[in-house]
Structure 1
Amino acid sequence: MDRQAPKKLKVSKKWTPSPLTLILLGLIAWLWFRPPADVSEENRPAPPWQVTLPDGRLLTSDSLKGKVVLVNFWATWCPYCRKEKPVIDDFWHDTRDRGFEVVSISIDDSPEKIASWMQDKGYAFMAAPTNASVAAAFGNVTSVPTSFIVDVEGRIRHKIAGQVHYPRLEKLVAPLLAEAKQP
């Protein structure tokens, strides 16, 4: 029996993770739940685009001029999209009175599914399905979430390939809102 006791000790030591293993597991978990996003400076004009909102209203890029707009590409099945929506909603509520707007473009859902999902989650910002004019303006976005920040003149200023976070939105949008208020 004395010989079995050391074997148990060896087995338990064998399964005890090293500090390096714990750090790597923590890093993997952090990346899994908060993946990095690639933010690029675009500063290019966007061709005119339009979407039909689920309630049948037509929304055009011209009607958004004078506002800073987050055009967010997403899908209802995307876990990172689901995770960023409350952040987008909070930021929109905090800044919409200063000229910020959100247009959430679903890459593959029907207008009915979009309306139902938005209503179920309690989001009031605009959402619509993609179309050819959106693809022409922003490119054929197939990786979600992907977002574009459009300035008051209709220029695409930033592209965010990945999940948005409140501090990131603040960093990218606040200067554009400040520019818009200057004469």
Structure 2
Amino acid sequence: MLKQFASHPWVRKLTPSPFTLILLILIVYFWFRPPAWVSDEDRPVANVAITTTDGRVIPLASLRGKVVVVNFWATWCPYCRHEMPGMQAFYRDWHAKGVEILALSIEDDPKLVAQFMQQQAYTFPAGLADAATQQAFGEIKKVPMSFVIDKKGVIRHKISGQVYYGRLENLVTPLLKE
């Protein structure tokens, strides 16, 4: 019966070619795990102050002694939204070990960012990336973009694209041992 069903011409039209299947698999893969390029950096970060959505001011210099992940993002960016749960899990697991995450939105509305963070129950600090902050890290031309800063305040890695838990773990662990 199944063989008879599969021999109908309209069923054969719906059967994808191997090329189409490979293309669909690649699209799904890159949607859920788009490529991110990691470059090694070795430059001190300027001491900018981040104002969080709850009104706290965090000077980057006050975070010396911790490994800091600074993530530039936007609420409208699908890749940014997709990486946030992994960042939250990483923050939950690594914050007590000396890791801080700062999520800096390139948007202009702090209420929008605060509302998004609250709705999603993200607990790491978030704020807006003003011009001075963006300049301190170099031009932020696209999001998501993240920077990993060592305990001494030196930018060690730049991640252009979506981060995920395993990549953060691989980049942060050696810096915690230094």
State the alpha-carbon separation in 1 of the partners of residues 89 and 125 from structure 2.
14
Instruction: Provide the residue aligned with 1:21 in structure 2.
Output: 20
State the alpha-carbon separation in 2 of the partners of residues 166 and 98 from structure 1.
15
**Is 2:153 aligned against 1:154?**
yes
Residue 116 of structure 1 and its aligned partner are, at CA, apart by: 1.4
Number of aligned residues: 172
Q: 1:14 to 1:132 in 2, by over 3 A?
A: closer
Give the counterpart letter for 1:75 in structure 2: A
Residue 112 of structure 1 and its aligned partner are, at CA, apart by: 1.4
Q: Percent identity?
A: 52
Q: Give me the TM-score of the superposition, normalised by structure 1.
A: 0.88
**Is 2:21 aligned against 1:57?**
no
Secondary structure of 2:75's counterpart equals: coil
Give the counterpart letter for 1:98 in structure 2: K
Instruction: Provide the residue aligned with 1:95 in structure 2.
Output: 94
State the alpha-carbon separation in 2 of the partners of residues 54 and 13 from structure 1.
55
Q: Deviations over 1:17-51 (max 9, x none)?
A: 22232122211221122210011101111111112
Q: Give me the TM-score of the superposition, normalised by structure 2.
A: 0.90
Is the 1:75–1:108 contact (alpha carbons within 8 Å) kept by the matching residues of 2? Answer: yes
Residue 11 of structure 1 and its aligned partner are, at CA, apart by: 5.5
Give the counterpart letter for 1:105 in structure 2: L
Secondary structure of 2:141's counterpart equals: coil
Instruction: Provide the residue aligned with 2:115 in structure 1.
Output: 116
Q: 1:120 to 1:12 in 2, by over 3 A?
A: closer
Residue 136 of structure 1 and its aligned partner are, at CA, apart by: 2.1
Q: Deviations over 1:65-92 (max 9, x none)?
A: 1110000000011111111111001001
Task: Report the structure number with the largest CA radius of gyration.
Answer: 1
Instruction: Provide the residue aligned with 1:131 in structure 2.
Output: 130
